[in-house]
């Protein structure tokens, strides 16, 4: 029996852009048939995003298994992307990355809220966030579909 590889959490560097892109494309591929196009995270220029946004990465041994991308909006952090590689889904890594982002944000002196948006058809994602105390703020049309905006107060 092989022992499970150790888990390591660290901030991304520009050298991680290709691995971030590959993980994100794999994680979001299941949604393409549902919405008839690639979800926005599959189309991002991650070379640029790694420079402009915060990425926290979770590795199992040397393999990138999960990530959370956040954007500081002043009084809130926007979760731009939370992704777990399909081979590693169902092991609590998404929950771990969400909790990590919330903790990091709460430790920032001015952050009082987490925000995110997701496609309304991604019911699995919406259930995940509702389970973790996020609330639906509003819905709006987007590219022939509907985007669901969600938020959670933190650090209070």
Task: Report whether pLDDT(3) > 70.
Answer: no
- Residue 67 is inside which H or E element, if any? strand 63-72
CA 74 remoteness from chain centre: 19
Between 114 and 2, where is the model more confident? 114
Q: How confident is the model at residue 156 (pLDDT cuts 50, 70, 90)?
A: low
Neighbours of 82 (CB within 10 A): 24
Q: Which tens digits make up the pLDDT trace of 85-127?
A: 999 999 999 999 999 999 999 998 788 999 999 999 999 999 9
* Interior angle at CA 89, CA 88 and CA 95, nearest 5: 110
Give me the pLDDT at residue 1, please: 43
Between 110 and 136, where is the model more confident? 136
Mean pLDDT computed over every residue of the chain: 94
Cα gap 62→36, rounded to integer Å: 33
What domains are defined for the chain? 7-112 (3.40.630.30)
Looking at residues 113-142, what average pLDDT do you find? Answer: 96
Q: How confident is the model at residue 131 (pLDDT cuts 50, 70, 90)?
A: very high
Decide if 73 contacts 110 (C-beta within 8 A): no
Looking at residues 66-85, what average pLDDT do you find? Answer: 97
């Amino acid at each position: 029996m092989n022992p499970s590889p150790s888990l390591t959490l660290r901030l991304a560097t520009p050298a991680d852009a290709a691995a971030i892109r590959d993980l994100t494309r794999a994680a979001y591929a299941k949604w393409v048939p549902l919405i008839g196009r690639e979800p926005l995270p599959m189309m991002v220029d991650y070379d640029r995003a790694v420079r402009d946004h915060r990425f926290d990465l979770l590795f199992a041994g040397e393999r990138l298994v999960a990530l959370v991308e956040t954007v500081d909006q002043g009084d809130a952090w926007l979760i731009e992307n939370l992704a777990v590689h399909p081979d590693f889904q169902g092991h609590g890594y998404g929950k771990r990355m969400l909790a990590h982002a919330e903790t990091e944000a709460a430790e920032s002196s001015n952050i009082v809220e987490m925000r995110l948006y997701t496609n309304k058809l991604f019911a699995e994602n919406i259930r995940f966030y509702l389970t973790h105390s996020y609330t639906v703020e509003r819905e709006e049309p987007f590219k022939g579909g509907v985007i669901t905006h969600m938020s959670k107060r933190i650090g209070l």
